[in-house]
Amino acid sequence: MLLATWREIARTIKRSDIVIEVTDIRDPISTRAKRVEEFAKTFDKKLILVLNKADLVPYEIAEQWVEKFKSYGLNAIYYSIWRKKDKRILLNLIENLSYKKPIVVSLIGYPKTGKSSIINSLKGKKSAPTSPIPGSPGYTKSFTIYKISNGIYILDSPGVFPIEGGYPESIIRGREVDEINDPVKPAIALIEKILKFNQDAFLEAYNINETDPYKILEKLALKRSWIYKKTKEPNIDEAAKTIIRDYHKAKIKFFIRPL
């Protein structure tokens, strides 16, 4: 996984007219990159906060999050790649925020927030990425620009930038699941977080009626027959990885209500 520095992210933002910051609407606070917002303000760029995966939360929750971020002075919208009207709303907002064409939009978000899916939903089947455009001197990674519509281009940010969302998001989004050295620790923190907002999450996902995080891992391992041959103990590492993956794939029902 390529790592991008904040300097590279700043240069990407500086090259664009509008910045789209992508968050996961299930937990937009932990997946929000405030430093991206600071860069946009520093370089006097318009910013759109996209609360992605809106199909995973009730309509009223999506509306409440949008209103909350709007109260902070942000251009916020909720978005689902499965709803064509959301694409039209986003494109209209981009056009309304810029007085010139072509419009170059940098799209930035943490891993697993659905950034690539948004790009694919915007560019459609007829569009294809151009060749990577080399950056300025000292800009070590290339970026890709996509033509979205007549006069609108999306600049895909390079690599994965440092995650500020706190634990366990910094671990489970910052690297591939198989690269996490001790998946049990972040998985337990994730289970605790999910249970705080949905006590029945693991009953619904795995038919496990349990609220102790460690026991949830044990029971999932036993249900899947993940057993160490020598010790006959449940392989909770594999269970931990599965829960992290299923969280990313939205197989575990979870969302946070705005306060």
Query: CATH number for the domain including 14?
Result: 3.40.50.300
Q: For tokens 């971020």, what's the residue?
A: 69
- Give residue 168's pLDDT band: very low, low, confident or very high (50, 70, 90): very high
What integer pLDDT is reported at residue 86 of this predicted model?
Answer: 97
Q: Using DSSP, how many helices (H) and how many strands (E) does the chain show?
A: 10, 6
Compute the distance between CA of residue 103 and CA of residue 122 in angstroms, rounded to an integer: 14
Residue 256 has which token pair? 């946070």
Q: What is the pLDDT of residues 190-240, one digit of tens each?
A: 999 999 999 999 999 999 999 999 999 999 999 999 999 999 999 999 999
Q: Are 95 and 196 found together in one domain?
A: no
What integer pLDDT is reported at residue 133 of this predicted model?
Answer: 28
Q: Are 81 and 42 found together in one domain?
A: yes
pTM of the model: 0.89
Q: Are 50 and 143 found together in one domain?
A: yes
The residue segments making up the domain with residue 60 are 6-156
Q: What is the pLDDT of residues 15-66, one digit of tens each?
A: 999 999 999 999 999 999 999 999 999 999 999 999 999 999 999 999 999 9
Q: Are 93 and 30 found together in one domain?
A: yes
Q: Are 94 and 19 found together in one domain?
A: yes
Give domain status of residue 1, yes or no: no
Residue 168 has which token pair? 């366990």
CA separation (Å) from 251 to 140, 204, 257? 37, 9, 19
Closest CA to 250 of 110, 82, 112: 112
Give domain status of residue 191, yes or no: yes
Q: Are 90 and 147 found together in one domain?
A: yes
Q: Are 19 and 66 found together in one domain?
A: yes
Q: How many domains does the chain have?
A: 2
